[in-house]
Structure 1
Amino acid sequence: MPAGPIDPPARLLMGPGPISMYPRVLQAMSAQLVGQYDPFMTATMTETQALYREVFATRNEATLLVDGTSRAGIEAALVSLITPGDRVLVPRFGRFGHLLVEIAERCGAEVHAIDVPWGEVFDPAAIEAAVREVRPALVAIVHGDTSTTVAQPLEGLGAICREHGALLYCDTTASLGGNDFRTDEWGLDAVTAGLQKCLGGPSGSAPITLSERAVAVIESRKSIEAGIRVEGDPVRQDRIRSNYFDLGQILDYWGPKRLNHHTEATTMLYGARECARILLEEGLDASVARHRLHGGAMLAGVQGLGLEPFGDLAHRMTNVVGVRIPEGVVGDAVRAELLADYGIEIGTSFGPLHGKVWRIGTMGYNARRDAVLVTLAALEAVLRRHGVGVPTGGGTEAALDVYRAAA
């Protein structure tokens, strides 16, 4: 039987991402393609760079998109900044710190990791002590790790890294647009993100911004221009060990040289551009405040149901709430019923938290009052069917109290 047209079921995505897209982003992504060097195309690329400078709160000229999911941006940054043999320090407080370690090891780095229990964050003094001991060329850290629902404070880390001659890379996939983030003010050298969280778009495009210090490292590793090598040319041992993720070549593609590297993912460019336009129309501070409001209402709601939040609430992300699964409840069964009966998706967790914690997101297009209240009402009904004694209306009333107080 031939496949029919794509027709996904109606879903309210209230997990840790991806989330439901802004309708305007869907509309932008339906626009027709143009040629890769059409003046409209190159102008759109330039516009998108300017928009993401504002999103990242930076003046970095080297601000652009890497074609691929948020992990493509992470890998492009690390493979382009790490020379094999470099020491790299990774402070880990969740699953995605472990990802940074793996990618850095694949880049040939001598990786040193430090850890805190999942649900906690680092005291900056602990990171500074590790930098003094390891003397890394690069410190790689996650801002908000959705696996633990907490955000690492970054203020002061850039100054620490500069004092000790290290670059500072940050993965802000899960936090950008919904949590306070200041690239230049915090002294970050490389930052990557994705669209599928607070930016309200699809996965498939990774915004990235690079400081002049980071660009200098990348430029120093360029052995050939535009990927064209003449027979007999020497192969530098410190060259960037990827073609697709070679930021030296990608910078030439996005820069004034417009040297061909790959065919830009035009539809994703349109979507990324619209994500940034929506965020900047609302305003960075206003978007953070919206995520804080609805994330706070969700937190109050789960507590109103008698559930225990997970993680250090003083450092929780605005856009995702961790919830301890009640004893005796099969977490995946609750998630399955929410999806089947109500069309609502919430997340499970990873590693030591798998089966112990749910993750409920309030981000991007779904950081809104009706989405929060419907999710809490559905969760209450499903929990009651699973034998959990939850207060009638406890979740929605607690969330409404937050909204009334903010009115």
Structure 2
Amino acid sequence: MKTYKDLSPSPRTIMTPGPVEVDPRVLRAMSFPILGQFDPEFTALMNETMEMLRTVFYTENHWAYPIDGTSRSGIEAVLTSLIEPGDTVLVPIYGRFGHLLVEISERCGAEVTTLEQEWGKVFDPAQIIQQIRKHPPTILALVHGETSTGCMQPLEEIGKACRELDVLLVVDAVATLGGTKVAVDEWQLDAVIGGTQKCLSIPSGMAPITYNQRVADKIAKRKKVERGLRTAEADTALTGRAIQSNYFDLSQLQDYWSPVRLNHHTEATSMLYALREGLRIVLEEGLEARFQRHKRHERALVAGLTQMGLSLFGDPHCKMPMVTCVLIPDKVDGESVRQMLLHQFGIEIASSFGPLQGKIWRIGTMGYSCNQKNVLHLLGALEATLLRHQVPIHPGLAVQAALDVYEQEQR
């Protein structure tokens, strides 16, 4: 009989746009004993998690809770529960994950239209507002931080226009929640999906969401139709309006996350421990302090990369503070560089997708991975690796430039 070794993953310095290194306190929380999902002690943890999510989302929304599953499960739960066949959905695309919003919306039976922007740029809000004024959709679905390009879309003006036109604004904030401000109420966002495995520094496996009463009202109407169909099965014209998914039905999940505590699924107990502890750590640090930390290490990283002689990809005016995209120098095998960083230095950075495949590296400074040790380690290792690949860079300047940033900000 074949035997297997004890599990012992190699230690890594993870500098990708997700997943990132997990805070040890979160890992410790995941080792705690299991509680039953209706144990009063556990439901108290659920309530605390909802409270903390409201703070992190900058919202007074009643509904703020996690979907059990990866970030995509949160996106799918919101869109599946909102979109009725025949609804119109507008998706402005400026990277890979806009295409994901299109695919899910089409699977829900929506009539989808798109706007497309060159990768490396974002939309002027006026361009999106002009489109929704000309042809108001039922839903505008938009990515806040596009990790495939390292760009971040301004939302405030767009949210205001959507509210005036009675368009529901659904935002993918998977990459930005916990690393920069996601002001749900101030920006008038109707539904927002976050991720655990990025700036919150929690393992992938839950998707925090929040949505307002406008969204809850539409979900309630669909729930009423669905119940009517189950009892009467009379009006076949209404069948398309029923929520097709059981697992991703927010109307049923609301019953589980409300004091009613109706059973919907077996809760992922250890993941909820992780989410609660991760959120506690975020609030302990302070949201504004956390956002400034991400910007500080971004400045140090960018200073080091540019002094080394590398060029950044994308419009700097819309750059995400937690993702830096670097143009791969001419005649350099980007994958060979990544493999050497991984195997010789234990550092992982990311490649990219679609039209940027093989053209850029993506470096994440997210959550627990966002620290001075990691930035300096990466810069030194990348310099050594590029020299091994005979790339004409400026040796010895990168780490010094980053240190200059750190020392200036300590004064």
TM band (smaller chain): over 0.9
Q: What residue number does 1:65 align with?
A: 66
Counterpart of 1:284? 287
Displacement of 1:157 after TM fit?
Answer: 1.2
TM norm structure 1: 0.97
* Paired position in structure 2 for 1:99: 100
Q: Deviations over 1:314-351 (max 9, x none)?
A: 11111110000000001011000100101100000000
Letter of the 2:277 counterpart:
E
Alpha-carbon contact 1:139-1:168 (below 8 Å) kept: yes
- 2:256 matched to which residue of 1? 253
User: 2:384 is matched with which residue: 381, 384, 390?
Assistant: 381
AA at the equivalent of 1:201: I
Partner of 1:324: 327
Pick closer, same or farther for the CA change 1:180–1:5 going to 2, 3 Å.
Answer: same
Q: Secondary structure at the match of 1:406?
A: helix
Report the counterpart of residue 190 of structure 2 in structure 1.
189
Which residue of structure 1 aligns with residue 356 of structure 2? 353
Q: Is residue 5 of structure 2 the alignment partner of residue 4 of structure 1?
A: yes
Query: How far apart, CA to CA, are the structure 2 residues paired with 1:315 and 1:343?
Result: 30
Please report how far the alpha carbon of residue 232 of structure 1 lies from its aligned counterpart in structure 2 after TM superposition.
5.8
Measured against aligned partners, the alpha-carbon deviations of 1:68-112 in whole angstroms (never above 9, x if no partner) come to 000000000101111111000111111001110111011100001
Hey, what's the Cα distance between the residues in 2 that align with 1:5 and 1:75?
36
Alpha-carbon distance in structure 1 between the residues aligned to 2:293 and 2:99: 30
Structure 1 residue aligned with 2:305 = 302
Kept after mapping to 2: 8 A contact 1:298/1:399: yes
The residue that corresponds to 1:158 in the other structure is: 159
Instruction: Identify if the C-alpha distance between structure 1 residues 393 and 228 changes in structure 2 by more than 3 Å, giving closer, same or farther.
Output: farther
Partner of 2:403: 400
Residue 2 of structure 1 deviates from its aligned partner by 2.2
Match of 1:206 in 2: 207
Structure 2 letter corresponding to 1:48:
T
SS in 2 for 1:118: coil
Q: Return 167-176 or 394-403, whichever deviates more.
A: 394-403
1:339: which partner in 2?
342
| Cα separation, 1, equivalents of 2:253 and 2:144 | 25
How many residues are aligned here?
407
Query: Secondary structure, in 3 states, of the residue corresponding to 1:66?
Result: strand
Q: Which residue of 2 aligns with 1:269?
A: 272
- 1:226: Cα distance to partner? 9.5
1:224 is displaced (CA, Å) by 7.6
Contact 1:384 1:390 in 2 (8 A): yes
Q: What's the counterpart of residue 219 of structure 2?
A: 218
* CA–CA distance in structure 2, aligned partners of residues 119 and 76 of structure 1: 29
Matches of 2:194 and 2:131, distance apart in 1: 26
Give the structure with the larger helix fraction.
2
Q: For 1:219 and 1:204, how far apart are their aligned partners in 2?
A: 27
Alignment-mate amino acid for residue 29 of structure 1? M
Partner of 2:136: 135
Write the letter of the residue equivalent to 1:298: L
Whether the 8 Å contact between 1:226 and 1:259 is mirrored in structure 2 is no
Q: Kindly indicate whether residue 114 of structure 2 is the aligned counterpart of residue 126 of structure 1.
A: no
Are 2:226 and 2:242, in contact at CA under 8 Å, matched by a contact in 1? no
2:85 aligned residue? 84
Give the distance between the partners of 1:225 and 1:95, measured in 2 at CA.
34
Please give the per-residue CA displacement for 1:128-163, whole angstroms capped at 9, x wherever unaligned. 111012210100000001000010001111111111
Partners of 1:106 and 1:326 lie apart in 2 by 40
| Map of 1:111 onto structure 2 | 112
In the TM superposition, what is the alpha-carbon distance from 1:392 to its structure 2 partner?
Answer: 1.9
Identity across matched positions, percent: 53
Secondary structure in 1 matching 2:223: coil
Q: What's 1:56 paired with?
A: 57
Deviation at 1:366?
Answer: 1.1
Q: 1:231 to 1:220 in 2, by over 3 A?
A: closer
CA contact (8 A) 1:90 1:101 kept: yes
Is the CA contact (8 Å cut-off) linking 1:348 and 1:355 kept in structure 2? yes
